[in-house]
Every structure is written in C-alpha cells, then in structure tokens.
Amino acid sequence: MNLKRVVVTGLGTLTPVGNNVSQFWDSLLRGVSGVGLITHFDASNLKCQIAAEVKGYDAADYFDRKEVRVLDLFTQYGLVVVDEAIKDSGLDVEKLNRDRVGVVFGTGMGGCQSFQDELFSFVEGHYVPRFSPFFITKTIGDICAGQISIKYGFRGPNYCTTAACASSAISIADALMLIQLGKADIMVTGGSEAAIIPSGIGGFSSMRALSLRNDDPATASRPFDKDRDGFVLGEGAGALILEELEHAKARGAKIYAEITGCGLSADAYHIAASHPEGAGAMLAMQQAVESSDMQLTDVDHINTHGTSTPIGDISEPRAVVSLFGEHAEKITLNSTKSMTGHLLGAAGAVEAIATVLTVKNNVVPPTINHFTDDPDIAPLDFSFNKATDRRVDFALSNAFGFGGHNVCLAFRKY
C-alpha cells in the first residue's frame, strides 16, 4: 500500500517561555528558563513550591465571559494554540471540505482544575448536591478535541489520546497515520495541559518526582546534570496542522517540514520508572526511522524526553547508544524541558514543534542548567548551555509516559 506523504503547515504554542510560536522559539534559542515560584495558588505549605507557569495569560483576551464559564483552562489553552496554528497555516476554513478535516488532541490530566474546584466546593458546602451543569463537560479529557471541532465545524476523525506524558505525541502519530491512510486531508493535532494546582503539585511531589529546588527555581530543571533532583511541572499547549502533501501543494501552502514516520512501544516494565536500558525507547526510535524509509545514520538530531529525573535521564541516552552505535556521537541531542519544564500531556506536541523548527532553521536549542557531568550518562552531544548551529535534515522527537508508553516522531526537511 502506498502511504500518502504528510507535511506540517501550521504551528501554535502557549508555553512557560512564550505565548506564541515566535516568542517560544526565540526563548528556546536564548536559553530562557520559564520556571519560577508558583503564583497560581498559595503553595507555601507544600514541599514543592516551583513550577513553569504560562505568563501573562488572560482568558478575557481570547474568550467572552460565557465561554470562560464552560471551558476549563486546559481547553482554553488548546483553543488558543489551534487558532494560532490555523492562522499560521493560511487555511481558509470556510472553503475547506470539513468532512475531510479531523482533530486528535491529547491531554494527560484533562480538566483537573475544574474537577478539583468542583469537589472542594461540594465538600465545603457540606455535600449539598449542587454540582455545576458544566462539571462533566469541563473535566473530561476529550472535550478539548470536541470544542475544536465544534468551533470550526471539522467533521473528520475526532478524539482524544491519553497516555500520560506521551499523550500529545500519540495524537500526532495518530493524525499522521490517518492522513497516510487517506482517512483525512488535514488533521489538527497536538495537546494541552493545565495541572499546576494543589493536587497536581502535591501528587507528583508525593511520588518524589518533582525538583525541590525552591531556592533556585530558574535552574531547577537540570536534564542530564549530575545534581538533577526531579522534573518541574509545566503547563501550556501546542498545536500542529498536518496536511496531505498534494493538498498542501495545491493551495500553495507554506511547509515547515515533512513528518515521515512514528514509533510506538511499551516498556512493559513499571508504572512510573522507565526501563533501565531504555528497551522501549530504543524500539520506538527504531520504528520511527524505519517507517520513514531512512537509515539510523541519517539522524542528525533528537529532541529527548529528558525530564531531569534520576533514572530516566540515564536510560534514554543508554537507548540512543545501544541503537545508533558509533553514529550516536554524531547526533546533537537536547532537552527543551530544561527551559519549559515538563508539560505532561502537552509536552510531546510542544517538543515536536521545537523539533520541526530545528529542522527548518538548522539550529538546535540548548539544554540549559548543566553544571556537572554525570559519569552514569553516556557522554553524548547534549547541546549544553548554548544553541548548536548545524544542518538538520532528519530529526526525532521522543516522548515517554508513566505506564511505560513510548512515542518517537520523525521529521525530515522538505
């Protein structure tokens, strides 16, 4: 079967280091940290008091009061980035065959803020059963994908993917395959997350997953550094417009890159820890390269999952060395989480966008906050502390989630 070729024609981001794609990319190249003390709520009684929050966001700039009442923050973020991506793509929505436009949008936590707020209100009201009529439709994970389709009238494939921190990467993989198989001409895809709430911070902290570097937030996210002590929770969203190549060419679309393949695997190992040898990660990367009809030696760059956790930051480079052998030394790796923190279910989409821009612009953003080499981590080129100018023709973007879910997306210069 001849699979259709798929290209990226639009991008949208809302992140801790920029509220649109231009700001986001500029911040990445300059090595800006988006981490600070939590302002969304009083975190003074929690062990972890830092996070990577979206700055300067005001719902009133994007939605009217009625819309704000019925949209959880994660859905708001998703709608904002999709609006940017559609405008960036140059699509005329009114002229599209909207039966052939679909939406796959991921989230790990869904409307957790609305869920928490509603339950707090219920308990404080002494269990008076007066739940908001919008309680369910604000909290369920699929509602962002649904709201996107409703806003634009897109009637193609429409659903949500949930696989913890791999959620939006799976959304992009699914969107790719739907177009390759001829099920749609255009897919709006990506993911959104807004989990910087007491239960989110408290829950991850209880797992000992979060950095506790409250006295120095800006350097708290330290992927691949010897003194890393956990990830920093982030929030935001990313959206990509994927389009069948001939459809894009016919309308004279701007093309950022071609998305050529994906790899999906499971560690089948542990609910929270990655496989120590990176077995699942290695399988996902191998599949992504093979499904792209490329060779391992063609890979120029990998945007790693790189969360700043003690175990994960050892196993992923181990997987790279095991798979790529001597060629691993020629690959420039990085972790944009050093700047954005970990956006959970939205991380895969935001990092895929960074990878697309790396392929387009031939520059790899830095991995900031590196102070001390870890002898347990393979000595690869992680683009520590400064951007790396190099030609990038073929790149991979990794996303791994609790439960052992592994995704690798492959992008090629068009």
Residues designated as active site: 165, 305, 342
Residues ≥6 apart with Cβ < 8 Å to 116: 197, 198, 199
Cα separations in angstroms, 151 against 70, 138, 189, 221: 14, 16, 15, 36
Nearest CA-CA partner of 15 in 51, 62, 67, 64: 51
